[in-house]
Amino acid sequence: MYAYLMSHKLTIMSRIAYFRVSTADQSIESQRQALGGLFDREFADEGVSGATPAKERKGFAALLEFIREGDSLHVYAVDRLGRDALDVQATVRLLLTKGVEVHVHGLGVIAKGVGELILAVLAQVADMERQRIIERTAAGRQAAREALERTGKTHKGKTSMGRPHAADPSTVRTWKEAQGASIAKTAEHFGLSVSSVKRYCAA
């Protein structure tokens, strides 16, 4: 029986998830929950900008090395598959050529041809929105600097441009240990992200 399986190169299909967040403060947990969990293997890139090509992301590069014909790849959004429309399209074509099913949350399975085209258009829209966010953020920072120089406060009433500490790390650690609380419970208590609590506890 073993020789038969080996001679026919029986492949066990795997459900694989890929997650990406742009900053270290963000958590991939919301993406995992949205996709339903229960994956055979997960790959992730944390603190990696969406402007980085898919193959240049450490986690995604490892995924491409691992994934095999018959596997299914699940992602939360189109921009997880590349930096722009061309990169997304190239990535999807590579995966489809490998015999991998590509699932995008809210869109379903992406097929060759029309599915690829729709995905490319959506990727372009996502890229345009990302550029608008960058422009709005830059404009907001400029307005804050000008108001700070003029009045001593930003246009939102803050006294500095810096980001205040959400909580003292030692206080967070002490409370967590004293309460015997989980990371999620501690994050909820202090109004922090799960990744921030993990970072404070690791420190």
User: 3-class SS at 110?
Assistant: strand
Tell me, what amino acid is at 139? A
145-155 CB burial, b ≥16 within 10 A, e <16: eebbeeeeebe
What DSSP string describes 32-76? HHHHT---SEEEEEES--TTS-GGGSHHHHHHHHH--TT-EEEES
Give the amino acid at 105.
H
Q: Which residues are part of the catalytic machinery? A: 22
